[in-house]
Amino acid sequence: MIGIIIFTDIKGSVLLWNKHKNVFFKKLITLNKKIKNLLNKYNGILIKEIGDSSMIYFDKDKKLDALSFMIDIQKYLNETNFSIKNNKITIRIGYSYGKMNKKKI
């Protein structure tokens, strides 16, 4: 099986959790909703969320959709003053394309 895996992670999340736990949690919920909306728009699949990170899958034929998803999530963060007390929230995004190894359990 060939496809695209995307990982997202909030930069500096440990500091944000420690300093602004309740506000950061609300921001994280908002961000996760936006990610899910964009995945619906671009036909991606959320594999799992762990804390402030997401693992996402796109079919091999959806390279442009995957790229558009990554651009749109970054645009959203830049255009919506996504910050906590002047601490701008940014995410790192990793993208990998290739053969997937699927283990049978």
Tokens of 50: 């762990």
Q: What residue type is 94 in one-letter code?
A: G
pLDDT digits (tens, 9 = 90+) for 9-29: 999 999 889 999 999 999 999
- The pLDDT assigned to 63 comes to 95
Question: Taking the CB of residue 44, how many other CB atoms lie within 10 A of it?
Answer: 22
- What phi and psi values does residue 19 have, to the nearest 5 degrees? -85, -35
**Between residues 105 and 6, which one has the greater pLDDT?**
6
pLDDT digits (tens, 9 = 90+) for 77-88: 989 888 888 888
Instruction: With cut-offs at 50, 70 and 90, classify the pLDDT of residue 104.
Output: low
CA torsion, ordered 22, 26, 27, 31, to nearest 10 deg: 150
Name the CATH superfamily, with its identifier, for domain 2-97.
Answer: Nucleotide cyclase, GGDEF domain (3.30.70.1230)
In percent, the amount of the chain with pLDDT more than 70 equals 96
- The pLDDT assigned to 49 comes to 94
Expressed in percent and rounded to 5, the helix, strand and coil fractions of the chain are: 45, 35, 25
The answer to whether the beta carbons of residues 65 and 43 sit under 8 Å apart is yes
How far apart are alpha carbons 57 and 48 in whole angstroms? Answer: 10
Region 30-41: what's the mean pLDDT?
96
How far apart are alpha carbons 70 and 63 in whole angstroms? Answer: 11
Q: What's the whole-model pTM score? A: 0.88
